[in-house]
Amino acid sequence: MSGSRDLAVKPDIGFLVRERFGVGESPVWDAENGRLLWCDIPAGVIHAVTVVTGARRRWAFGEPVPSFGLAQGGRLVVALRNDVMLFDPETGRRALVARVEHAKPDMRLNDGKVGPDGAFWVGSMDGSGDGMPAAKLYRIAPDGDMRVVAEGIAIANGLAWNAVGDRMYHSDSRGDIWLDCWDFDAATGAMSNRRRLREHDEAVGRPDGGACDMDGNYWSAGPSAGRLNRFSAEGELLDWIDLPIRTPTMPCFGDADMQTIYVTSLDSKADEGRDGVVRLRVDVPGVPVGRFGA
């Protein structure tokens, strides 16, 4: 494995889907149905593939879909440009949960995940580059209560929680490109003791989507370096995996044993065949995702 550190065996990396997406993002493992879901942000589409059979489904929303998560009753909690919706894939029914008013034109919501507290945590992005980033991180409860938990961000990314649910990770993938961590209360969603774990550079890979494994490590897609980084709980770079996709965007753990990592990618606009969703086996299982309303 080119450039690896601690991984003893080179993982076998293959494509689950070899296809170009504008911005493939937010992979979510649906254990109940044995399928992987992900979105194409600019196309406004959520895709699903049943891993065993290869059967595909898609749902179009008519506007960007930056992120989503699983919800109670077989539904999804979906972030759109401004709105967070509950969506039923079987009936197509939608219900508004919350609406975000952005501070600048052309802003939208971005990375989002369901936390161990059952709330949907979602950040926004400010691509203005005016030196005064206005993106924020929100906690949206199942009853629609919304609060701002962090601000002054360029592009909110990297949300993930450890297995115990007492640490939350979050990153900014533009500007100073940092990775932060909070102490977290899984019962209430309260955060405290924010600290900076590391400041990234383009060579290591700016921190995009993230996921945690059961050993407490944090896996981060590095689209500027074409690789998947593995960090310790304190932000030390332990190792990395060079991927066949040029611009990986987010990892998630899946399969029955949670020991397969799926990684989405955005359109590289360069080498045809280096886009899609890849998968690789690892030795340590990942932390299962939460459900909105749990």
- Supply the residues annotated as catalytic: 208
For the chain, give the longest Cα–Cα distance. Answer: 48
Picking from 220, 250, 210, 205, the residue whose alpha carbon sits closest to that of residue 39 is 250
Neighbour count for residue 124 (Cβ, 10 Å): 29
At 69, list the tokens.
């998560």
Tell me, what DSSP letter sits at residue 287?
P
The residues facing 237 across adjacent strands are: 231
Which DSSP letter does residue 126 get? -
Tokens of 166: 């007492």
Q: Tell me the sheet residues that pair with 256.
A: none
Token pair of 234 as six digits: 């304190």
Own/partner long-range contacts of 51-60 (Cβ < 8 Å, ≥24 apart): 51/16, 51/254, 51/255, 57/89, 59/87, 59/89, 59/92
Alpha helices in 107-170 (DSSP H): none
